[in-house]
Chains A and B, each alone.
Chain A
Amino acid sequence: MGTLSSALNIAVQAMMADETALDTTSNNIANANTPGYSRQTVNFVEAPPVEFGGQTYGTGVQISSIVSQRSAVLQLLLNQDTQQQGQYSSFLTTMQQVQTLFNETSGTGLQSSITGFFNALQQLSEDPSNTTYRQAVITAAENMAQNFNSSSASLTSLQQNADASVTQSVNQINALTPQIAALNAQISAAVSTGQNAGSLMDQRDQLLNKLSGLAGIAEIDAGNGNITVTTTSGAALVVGNKSFQLTTQADPTTGFEHIFSLDSDITSSITGGALGGALQVRDSTIPSILSSLDSLAANLENSLNTINQSGFDLNGNPGGNFFVPPPAGGSGAAAKMAVAISDPSQIAASQDGSAGDNANVDAMLALQNQPFVNGQTPINAYSSLVFQIGNDVATAQSEQQASQASIQQVQNQIGSISGVSINEEAANLIQYQQAYQAAAQAAAVISSLTQTAITMFSSSH
């Protein structure tokens, strides 16, 4: 049976529920522009009814929960795209500098000095006893060697930059994982006591997204509000309320930092994020370019040396090494390329020992069109390298654009679920305001009825 006091109770409960709803709406409006904020909604439910005398009476309204509107799946997609985006951005940061080293469209690169060297040989072939022409060959060879030296040095220095960013990324990762572990603890505590963990989850999502920008990670829902985070290859970063630091240690031969997780070297298994991009440039892309340059340099040096040794110099003496012999195996040949002769007469242009014979310098010149660099002519070997570099950059650029577009799309989807709409909140505001006013009015009416009853009883005295 309904009573005036239960009716008053229902009205006051309704006012409290509407206050909570207004509070939530106000919080949504306040955080409309807060990055990572997910809008929250209140769930009104009927209070449990009571049965009395075969009748069921409603007992008013309750707030069952305040729910943060989010999609874990979309967040995961966003993080995956962010890992890609991070990797390509970091790869491109270095590779865009690499491609300017070989920007043949603006005349930078090795082509002109390689061709310049062969042109000098060509000129000498026309007048092999001409000392000026001989000097020009040596100058052109030195110029070519210097170009190889400086290209190689610039690549190594860019490789070192990438190495420095590896350490930076590891430090940033190590700063993020303890924060995620701490939030795991807070969230699971909140979840177990049935509290709203929405804003803690917002914070954790933000941190997971930052972490995704740094490295490829896998997120596993460990239940009870916990998220386990590992690298894509499975090295633990965060488990429950514990975080695991990555450590770095310089490789004794290369001097480059290797990354360790719990004492095992995980460098080669890291992909994605800024760290993955920097490692790709440092350990794969630049070494491959350096090795192509080394091979080109070593083949040029060895072939020129062999031919120079088989001829006779201007004084009729057998020729020696034209270039300082490259290191065995060719590694480092570009960095160390140097001309061995300084006296122009030592170029063995002649095959029969006479000063005007050009047969040996012709043999040197013929190298220009011979496929002695891994099956390619020197210029073709170089232009293949130029293509490779340009193609690597172009591919990464289009992948980066694709992941950027994908991020934008996922963010729109996330926004459609989690974003605060001012119009929606304004409508809610009016709705809750009116409900609150109605409940207050109901309380006033019941209060007045109670007063009537009290007056009635006191007058009957």
Chain B
Amino acid sequence: MSIRVNPNVLPDLVSSIEQAQQAAQTATQELATGRSVNNLSDNPAAAASLVNNNALTSENDQYLTNLGDLQGKFQAADSALNTAVQLMTSAISLGTEGATGTISAADRQVIAQQVQGLQQQMLALSNTTYEGTYVFSGTDVTTQPFTQNNASPSGVQYSGNSGVTNVSIGDEQSMQTNLPGDQIFANANGNIFQALNDLVNALNSGTGIDAANEEVSQAFSQLTTQRVFYGNALNQVQNSQNYLNQEQVNLSALQNQLVGADMTKVIADQSQSQTAEQAALSATAQILSLPTLLTYIK
């Protein structure tokens, strides 16, 4: 005797139709979203990696925004120091002119006034602001760093501090973003305000002009040395931006690997599941319309 089979085939048939429909639905969802992972349960490990990936991407976006900001600040500082270099160049040529033996005392007074003017412009530059804060006052960014003070030997008083700021520009990577103003404008190895003040006094009095010129030259070379900091900083910003942009491309590629749908495969899956569904439907219709023994009993 043969083995008796379940006479009720309907649940099996319905289940095979449902399976095919399920597969078609999954493929359609993947096509619609472009992602192979639409729920955490689709691929828990990929979903968890996606969290870290998205966090890194967002973090890098912020680093890029910060670098843009820093770039603006560095450019403001660099441009101020560029003008300062030009002022010092003028001071050197005025000093040289004043040191000429044939010049009259009255003319020297005129030159002294011009140097005085340069000193005022230098003072304004040393108080450069960027987005409302002083660029050259160390970390005491809300205090005006340099003020006119005739009691001081240099004629100028520094009220900032010597603090420097380090800013993160990537994971485990940070850069110094400022030079304290006294290090630039009132450096012990070449004090700009002192040198300009001494030159004005020397021109007015007619004595010690050569020594004052020497002082101005020293301050000039100190200024160009310090200015290199901002040039380097701008380069570093550029390098970091390049690095982070590349990193974003990598992260985006990784994200696609983690949760992106393989479109070729999805389209193949979809058409396969449609074929399977049609086959299941057709088989069901055929099996359900099979005659029974009763059909033949007359």
Q: Which residues of A contact B (CB under 8 A)?
A: 96, 99-100, 102-106, 109, 111-112, 114-116, 118-119, 122-123, 125-130, 350, 352, 354-359, 362, 365, 368-369, 379-380, 382-384, 386-391, 393-394, 397, 408, 411-417, 419-424, 426-427, 429-430
A115 pairs with B59, CB closer than 8 A: yes
The CA of A350 and the CA of B243, in the complex, are separated in Å by: 29
B11 pairs with A408, CB closer than 8 A: yes
Contact residues, B151-182 vs A (CB, 8 A): 161, 163, 165-168, 171-172, 174, 177-178
The CA of A122 and the CA of B58, in the complex, are separated in Å by: 12
Q: Which of A130, A383, A427, A430 contacts B131 (CB 8 A)?
A: A130
A123 pairs with B41, CB closer than 8 A: no
* Complex contacts, A380 vs chain B, CB 8 Å: 52
With A356-B133, A383-B51 in contact, do A426 and B292 touch (Cβ < 8 Å)?
yes
The CA of A114 and the CA of B8, in the complex, are separated in Å by: 56
Q: Which of A103, A126, A390, A426 contacts B66 (CB 8 A)?
A: A126
With A115-B58, A116-B58, A125-B168 in contact, do A105 and B40 touch (Cβ < 8 Å)?
yes
- 7 closest Cβ contacts across the A-B interface? A415-B6, A390-B44, A390-B40, A356-B141, A387-B48, A393-B41, A356-B139
Q: Tell yes or no: B93 within 8 A of A by CB.
A: no
Chain B, 45-79, contact with A by CB distance < 8 Å: what is the 0/1 string? 10111111011001101110110011001000000
* Complex contacts, B137 vs chain A, CB 8 Å: 356
Contact residues, B3-48 vs A (CB, 8 A): 3-8, 11-12, 15, 33, 35, 37-45, 47-48
* Complex contacts, B190 vs chain A, CB 8 Å: none
The CA of A391 and the CA of B44, in the complex, are separated in Å by: 5
B7 pairs with A362, CB closer than 8 A: no
B15, B33, B141 pick with most chain A CB within 10 angstroms: B141
Contact residues, B109-167 vs A (CB, 8 A): 131-133, 137-142, 161, 163, 165-167
Q: Nearest A residue to B169 by beta-carbon distance?
A: A126
* Complex contacts, A415 vs chain B, CB 8 Å: 5-8
Could you tell me the dominant secondary structure of chain A's interface residues?
helix
**Count of chain A to chain B residue pairs whose CB atoms are closer than 8 Å in the complex:** 191
Q: Nearest A residue to B292 by beta-carbon distance?
A: A422
* Complex contacts, B174 vs chain A, CB 8 Å: 362
A111 pairs with B54, CB closer than 8 A: yes
With A350-B139, A379-B55 in contact, do A362 and B168 touch (Cβ < 8 Å)?
yes
With A119-B59, A130-B133, A387-B47 in contact, do A352 and B139 touch (Cβ < 8 Å)?
yes
The CA of A104 and the CA of B35, in the complex, are separated in Å by: 12
* Complex contacts, B12 vs chain A, CB 8 Å: 408, 412
Q: Tell yes or no: B244 within 8 A of A by CB.
A: no
**What are 15 of the A-B contact pairs (CB < 8 Å)?**
A99-B41, A104-B54, A105-B47, A122-B59, A125-B66, A127-B131, A129-B133, A352-B139, A352-B163, A354-B163, A390-B43, A412-B12, A415-B7, A422-B293, A423-B7
Q: Tell yes or no: B259 within 8 A of A by CB.
A: yes
B3 pairs with A416, CB closer than 8 A: yes
Q: How many whole Å from B27's CB to the nearest CB in chain A?
A: 17
The CA of A103 and the CA of B52, in the complex, are separated in Å by: 14
* Complex contacts, A382 vs chain B, CB 8 Å: 51
With A129-B142, A421-B7 in contact, do A426 and B293 touch (Cβ < 8 Å)?
yes
Q: Which of B33, B39, B45, B177 contacts A126 (CB 8 A)?
A: B177
Q: Nearest B residue to A397 by beta-carbon distance?
A: B41
* Complex contacts, A119 vs chain B, CB 8 Å: 58-59, 61-62
A383 pairs with B166, CB closer than 8 A: no
B3, B63, B66, B171 pick with most chain A CB within 10 angstroms: B66
A115 pairs with B40, CB closer than 8 A: no
* Complex contacts, B106 vs chain A, CB 8 Å: none
Q: Tell yes or no: B297 within 8 A of A by CB.
A: yes
A355 pairs with B140, CB closer than 8 A: yes
A104 pairs with B40, CB closer than 8 A: yes
* Complex contacts, A122 vs chain B, CB 8 Å: 59, 62-63, 66, 168
